[in-house]
Amino acid sequence: MIKDTRLILALDVTDRHQALKISQDVKGYVDAIKIGYPLVLATGKDIIGEIAEMVPVIADFKVADIPNTDRLICEQVFSAGANALIVHGFTGSDSLKTCVEVAEVHGADIYVVTEMSHPGALDFMQKVAEDMAQLASNAKVAGVVAPATRPERVQKIRSIIGNDIAIISPGVGVQGGSAADAIKAGADWVIVGRSIYLADDPKKAAMEIAKEIKDAIDQ
């Protein structure tokens, strides 16, 4: 993923025309568009390739299965045109290794979830998040997903993975996190959904967050 605005749009709309319109509008202001079950289940997997023609696509399917099933899922996602795929780390090294192998064949990237951004992540995930960050680092994936809602955890995860792999960070806006704080804590990209796609003017909202990120870097 080319690092420019350092903003990723989470496009969790369920209408095909709206999805394509917003993608066209924010093109140039986001480095990637993350799409997941809401949009793909509503419109079909061809939407992946349609959006990828405009902006690189990260497929957020949080893949979490045995290696053989993971392989079948990865092949479908990358054949559909996704540039990257988000997978879970808790299934362990063999499942992750399989995802990385399929991604390599397609010239695509894998991002591993460490600790999620919502409050429930404290129930189970936070306890093993650092181990999953280490697993991701060992597997030489493109990056990990870490919570903008807890910048101190972004910082901790950065200290584990070093600077070789990236951090993409959701939880900005509606979930309470700040784009500037996440970037200052060590995130390479922030992921923003509702604050952009529910705005009256998604392009303007994306531009404003991109500016906030730039100002945080320039400080």
Exactly one of 27, 31, 45, 60 is catalytic; which is it? 60
Q: Token pair 């936070």 is at which residue?
A: 126
* Residue 149 annotated as part of some ligand binding site: no
Kindly tell me which of 33 and 103 has the beta carbon lying closer to ligand NUP: 33
* Residue 56 annotated as part of some ligand binding site: no
Q: Footprint of ligand NUP on this chain (CB under 6 A)?
A: 10, 12, 36, 60, 86, 113, 116-117, 145, 147, 170-171, 173-175, 191-195
Active site residue 15: no
Contacts of 110 (CB under 8 A, 6+ apart): 84, 85, 86, 87, 96, 99, 100, 103, 139, 141, 142
Exactly one of 62, 203, 204, 214 is catalytic; which is it? 62
Rounded to 5°, the CA angle 3-154-172 comes to 70
Position with the least CB separation from ligand NUP: 193
* Least Cβ distance, residue 87 to ligand NUP (angstroms): 11
* Residue 65 annotated as part of some ligand binding site: yes
* Distance separating alpha carbons of residues 158 and 65, to the nearest angstrom: 26
Kindly tell me which of 108 and 132 has the beta carbon lying closer to ligand NUP: 132
Active site residue 94: no
Active site residue 203: no
Please give the helix or strand (H or E) that residue 99 lies within, else none.
helix 93-105
Exactly one of 45, 65, 203, 214 is catalytic; which is it? 65
Phi, psi of 113 (to 5 degrees): -70, 135
* Distance separating alpha carbons of residues 175 and 190, to the nearest angstrom: 13
* Least Cβ distance, residue 117 to ligand NUP (angstroms): 4
Annotated binding site for substrate: 12, 34, 60-69, 117, 170-180, 193-194
Q: Which residues are catalytic?
A: 60, 62, 65
